[in-house]
Structure formats: C-alpha cells, structure tokens
Structure 1
C-alpha cells in the first residue's frame, strides 16, 4: 500500500518536468490526481498516458476561476480533495536587475510574481475549504533560490523567497485542519519555461547539452538531475501518517548545495547553453 493510498491530489503545472514526475509518483503511491495545466497538449498527454486516475483542467493558475474549476473537478470525479501541490512556475532567464530594459520591468514582475506567487495563493484559496473537510495538506514547490542568491534572476529569486513566507503564513492561518509545507529543489532536467515578457520566444530553462549539464551539476555534491529524485519529499509531506506533526516548513532539497558553502550559479553561467525553442 502506498503512502497516499486513497487520497485525491490537485497538482498545478503537472504536464511536464517536475510536475509530471509528481503526477507519476503520486499515482504510484495510490493517489488519484487532478492537474491544472496551461498547455492543452500536455493535459491531453496526461489523460492519454494515465487513464481514469488522472483528470485535467486546461487553465491559468493566475485565474481564481480556473483554480476553483480544478478543485470542483476533483470533488466531482473523485469525491474529495486531500492534497494540493502548488507547482506551476516560470523563470526570468535569469534577469540581472540593471541589465533589464526599463520598459520590461512592470510586465516581467507581474508575470513571474503572478505565476509563482499569486498562482499559489489562488490555488490555496480555492482548495482550502475542501482540504479542511478532509484534514488534508498543501505542499508548494519552492527552490534553492528560496534560500540563496544566484539561483535565478531578480524576479525569480524574490518570488521563491516569497513562497517561504507564504508557506508559513498559510500554515499559521489554516492550522490545525490543514498542514502546509514546501520543498526547495535545486536545478534539474525539467521543462521550466521563461518569462514571455522578457523573451517573446519560448524559453526553456533546462540544460540542453551534456556539456552544460555537467557544468551545472558538478557544483552539487549529490549530482541529482532527474525531477523524479525530488518527488519523495512531496509524498512524505503530503502523507498524513508520515508528516502529521509537520507544518510551516520548507525543506531545502538543493542536492547538497548547502555543504559547499558557496555557489557558482550566476546569470552568466545559466545564460550559456539554455535554449529558445
């Protein structure tokens, strides 16, 4: 029997990368899953690949209506909601503040903060009433950039620091019925997209060559680069039995980066070898 046997989870941004890995792992642990996904093609692929145990809503995490639609689908199709995983996010290239054109500041801030922070707040707002009924939990995807500089640009790092505060405040407000925690992964081979305000082309923030992957991951003692490597912590925090006493915590799971004492991850390093598609 899996750690999430019989549970129903809503995962935002579950169509690719870490999000899809979470869908797969939650299914393995016995859960049924609803996914709020921006891409119609990715949503269709999920339903095709996983069948009746997965249902999808195509929508935008910045829309309260779309978040409420996803929650309603979970209740309608599976009878309840036990877990919210706020995972949808975007990168900012990464953006160095003084390199940014002045006319891009407002749009880039609104876009990155809208997806990475507002999206989590709206998901929590939509899901909380149902999670209170089931004494469920929320788990949010933070980042190594929630704890250190140099893991993203000015907007991304600010947004991921904000996630830490959001987790703590939600945990305070929703206790004792709902536990709220987060996981802060390090870099991985994922499908993290860039801000369209900063790059009109579709910008994939992930190592696209072995050379670049080796450069990035050699800085991390454990050298984990597969999104699936990070899914276990989400499962553990979502599990009532295994994390009943844990709320308001964000686990820094940055592949052992903290034991190095420093990081070489700067905007210049990230810009080399990442592609527009």
Structure 2
C-alpha cells in the first residue's frame, strides 16, 4: 500500500496528505493491533475508546475518551481526524462487548433484556453511529469502512457465544451489507470476522471472556480445522488490505480468519 503517495487509500479522491483512519475500541486487543499496523504503514489515526493507554503513540495517534453508544463521541473523533490530520479515509468499527455465553433460559426476563440491550447497543448501534459520523468525510475522500465481526456471525454453537452476542453479530453483518449498498459507489464497506483470537474482550459485567490462556489455546486449536490460534497482529493487516486499492473491487464482503471454521 502507498502510505504517503497522495493517492486515495480506497482508490478515491483525497488530496496530497497521509492517509487518515478512525478506529473504535483501539486501546486493546484487535483494535490496538489495527492501530499499530496502520501507523506503521503511514496512517495517522484518531482512536475512540473508553480508556486511553499510558503508552499511546502521541505523534501519529490522537485519542478521544468516549463511549461508542454516544453519538457525540463519534462526531468528536471524526472531527479530531478532520481537524488534526486533514481528512478521513478509513473508519474501523471495532469496539465490542460479549454476553458471556448466555442461553435464552439462563437469565430471568429483565436481566436477559438488560444484557441483550447492552450488547446490541455496543456491537450494533455503536457501529451504526460510527458509520453515520464517518459517511460524509469518507464519501469526500472515496474511502472505506471496515467492521469487526466474529465467527459468531456464522456459528451459533461451540464457540462460546451466547444468544445475545450471536444475534448482534448476525445483525452487524446485515448492517455491513446495507451500508455497502447504500454508500456505493463513494464508500466501500467490508468486514473481518476473526475466530479463536484470544484478546481482552470482556462481558457486559466486566469479566474477561478468555480466562486461562493455556486452556483457551488448547480449546481453540482443537476446535478449528487448521489447529491454529491466531494473534491479533496477524488479523490487523486485513483491515488495511480492505482499505487498499488492491481491494478496490470489494464491498459488502467479509474476510474470515478463523482457522477454517467455515468448512467444519
């Protein structure tokens, strides 16, 4: 990819400047790896997250502390990208929360509704609000959106996902496809659906989804056909690829780095 050429990242119309991205949930896990990969390849990045890490890269990254459920937070991070870096070429919707693997009979009705609303508000509405804020600037630059989905977008059993998380990720796939149709030809919209990547993802009540690392690693290896446990750093370049001219003919598509779960 040409990081400093003046050519639009998605094949569009930006002027002479470095490419600019907004990443939600960029303080940890896959989001942090995406930020590191983008900045290493010439991007300047504005990050929206509820926390700002102490070891942030100050020169190429600007941080906005905020909640993805708040539309004003998305407006603010997009404004930061525009005012500090001069434009926007890529929006990465990545912030997410897990339901802890709950089934429909595991909780009383009020608690189930509370958990499901929280998951949907972060994992679906949070993406939609980010897309709304970024759509105009991305249309101006001919840019891209890339969203983080999950193996739970396709699988509903055996991967630790509960009913709320699976429903949310299925809904997010519909959002990706609708946005791809709605925003074409100015903005391309694609997604990455990782599987078995051990990160710091947490549940609605703050518990880590992946507990004992060695136990989780063994389970993941056994579950997927390739017997691999992917690292966030292996997933991150896929986001940059989907925003690149090499993927200029792709929209509404999902890359599935999941160890081959699609052939199970």
TM-score w.r.t. the length of structure 1 is: 0.86
Q: How does 1:13-92 map to 2 (within 5 A)?
A: 13-39=25-51, 43-45=52-54, 48-92=55-99
Corresponding residue SS for 2:191: strand
Aligned counterpart in structure 1 of residue 135 of structure 2, from 128, 131, 136: 128
Closer/same/farther in 2, CA of residues 65 and 49 from structure 1, 3 Å limit: closer
Contact kept? 1:188, 1:206, Cα under 8 Å: no
How far apart are 1:44 and its partner, in Å? Answer: 3.7
Aligned counterpart in structure 2 of residue 188 of structure 1, from 189, 197, 203: 197
1:174 aligns with 2:179: no
Q: Deviations over 1:201-248 (max 9, x none)?
A: x20112423133212232221503311111121111011x11111101
Corresponding residue SS for 1:99: coil
Closer/same/farther in 2, CA of residues 128 and 102 from structure 1, 3 Å limit: same
Q: How does 1:197-276 map to 2 (within 5 A)?
A: 202-220=206-224, 221-239=226-244, 241-259=245-263, 261=264
Q: Which runs of 5+ in 1 are unaligned?
A: 197-201, 262-277
User: Using the alignment, how far apart are the partners of 2:150 and 2:215 within structure 1?
Assistant: 23
Contact kept? 1:217, 1:225, Cα under 8 Å: no
User: Using the alignment, how far apart are the partners of 2:222 and 2:97 within structure 1?
Assistant: 24
Contact kept? 2:220, 2:229, Cα under 8 Å: no
Contact kept? 1:207, 1:213, Cα under 8 Å: no
Contact kept? 1:140, 1:183, Cα under 8 Å: yes
- The answer to which structure has the higher helix fraction is 1
Contact kept? 2:156, 2:166, Cα under 8 Å: yes
TM-score w.r.t. the length of structure 2 is: 0.90
Contact kept? 2:99, 2:116, Cα under 8 Å: no
Contact kept? 2:217, 2:229, Cα under 8 Å: no
Corresponding residue SS for 1:51: coil
Aligned counterpart in structure 2 of residue 164 of structure 1, from 165, 173, 190: 173
Q: How does 1:96-175 map to 2 (within 5 A)?
A: 96-150=103-157, 151=159, 152-175=161-184
Closer/same/farther in 2, CA of residues 213 and 72 from structure 1, 3 Å limit: same
User: Using the alignment, how far apart are the partners of 2:62 and 2:169 within structure 1?
Assistant: 28
Deviates more, 1:111-120 or 1:96-105: 96-105
RMSD over aligned CA atoms reads: 1.3
How far apart are 1:4 and its partner, in Å? Answer: 4.3
